Amino acid sequence: MQAKLIPYLEFENAKEALAYYQGVFGATNVYRVSPTADEAEQYGLEPTVDLDQLTMRGGFQVLGLDIQCADALMGQPTSSTLISLMIVVDEDNSEDVKALTALYQRLVKSDVKVISPFNSLSQGGKMGQIVDAYGITWILREAPETDLSVNNS
């Protein structure tokens, strides 16, 4: 079976969030689709709502990884410490390490909260952890290639 896990984030205002991730994280391939009148009715939205300001589905990429999002049309979104997003690169791939390090340096110059600085680990590689302006925890990790594989059998 070939499956792919894609983080899906909900925001009060996904349009603003997309601009945030593009500006702060350097997100690429950003897209946003507003709901149709039929979709708005299906979700019980007020007929007077400005559909162009709402996001039915959107997405972006960080270091080539897909993340999708939308407005929380069914109620107030809340952040949780139960789930963190971790980006892991092979510590022997100099281009990936350079990109991850640049991302971390870019983030710490913005409005993120640093939980742990991007430092060397005793088991090898480096790791840093931040919480962004939306309360989402991001773990940035460079690790040995053997740690990147899901099937280490």
Residue 141 CA to residue 129 CA, distance in Å, equals 9
pLDDT tens for each residue of 4-48: 999 999 999 999 999 999 999 999 999 999 999 999 889 888 888
- Residues 90 and 118 both lie in one domain: yes
Contact in structure between 62 and 103 (CB atoms under 8 Å):
yes
Q: What is the pTM of this model?
A: 0.89
| Residue 76 domain-assigned (yes or no) | no
* Residue 1, pLDDT score: 83
* Residue 32, pLDDT score: 98
Ordered mean pLDDT values, 10 residues apiece, the chain (153 residues): 92 96 97 94 88 96 97 82 92 95 96 94 92 96 74 44
SS3 category, 85: strand
| Residue 79 domain-assigned (yes or no) | no
| Residue 88 domain-assigned (yes or no) | yes
- Residues 12 and 36 both lie in one domain: yes
* Residue 144, pLDDT score: 83
Long-range CB pairs of 112-119 (<8 Å, 24+ gap) are 112/24
| Residue 153 domain-assigned (yes or no) | no
CA proximity to 135, closest of 26, 28, 10:
10
Q: Which CATH number characterizes residue 26's domain? A: 3.10.180.10
- Number of domains observed in the structure of the chain: 2
Domain that holds residue 143: 84-148
- Residues 88 and 143 both lie in one domain: yes
* Residue 151, pLDDT score: 47
